Amino acid sequence: MKISASVLSCDFSDISKEIDKISNLNVDFLHLDVMDGHFVPNISFGAHISKCIKKISKIPIETHLMVSNPIKFIEQFGFSSTIIFHFESDDNIEDAIELIKSLSIKAGISIKPKTSVEKILHCLENIDLVLIMTVEPGFGGQKFMENQVQKIKFLKNFKEKNNLNFDIEVDGGINDITARTCENSGADITVAGTYIFSSENIEKSINLLRGKNG
């Protein structure tokens, strides 16, 4: 199980120290939640702060665009290893994927809890990652929605049946228990913020997310 640490739960008054805490703990990705206050009812940070985070971290960055018009933002985040945008956004899905790929960046698509997974099946041949939201996007610290697990199982089965090659990532309410639920259902990556950065023992928490005994 790969781990993506969401910096949304960091102490931004000392972001460098926060990232230092996880830099040598084999975290696979830094997860940047970019919110525009329109697509979701919150505003986080944009490209400038994200580039500053990139400067102080050697961990690959995946950018999660929770924005209404991702095509306007994609090139600003060209330093990312992966850019994830939402199916529910206002832009054309194929155009967004093509733009991300033109930058030699992995393309990911995300769906909200109320969106049926069947709606994205037509584009999975061109996608590197599917992000299943197990909370309503926009705020950290929410409770994991168990009814979203069926989407993970469906995608795992669909991927194997059709010989596709995309990762399944899960974001929202992730802790050591829900991470095992996701992994056992077919997830490849879990995103955790509060569980990691609010922990008194971050190394132990990360190991538990991976399925290790602390």
Question: How many domains would you assign to the chain?
Answer: 1
The CA distance from 107 to 168, in Å, is 12
Tokens found for residue 39:
């697509």
Q: Which residues are catalytic?
A: 33, 171
DSSP SS3 for 54: helix
The CA distance from 125 to 79, in Å, is 24
Closest CA to 87 of 129, 120, 132, 65: 120
Strand spans (E) along the chain? 2-6, 29-35, 61-66, 82-86, 106-111, 129-133, 167-171, 189-192
Residue 138 is predicted with a pLDDT of 75
- Per-run averaged pLDDT (10 residues), the chain, 214 residues: 94 93 94 95 93 94 98 98 98 97 98 97 97 87 92 98 98 96 98 94 95 72
pTM attached to this predicted model: 0.95
Go through the chain and tell me how many residues it has. 214
Closest CA to 105 of 163, 164, 55, 65: 65
Residue 140 is predicted with a pLDDT of 66
The CA distance from 3 to 1, in Å, is 7
Which residues form the domain of 128?
2-210
Which CATH number characterizes residue 115's domain?
Answer: 3.20.20.70
Buried b (16+ CB within 10 A) or exposed e, 110-148: bbbeebebeebeebbebbbbbbbbbbebbebeeebbeeb
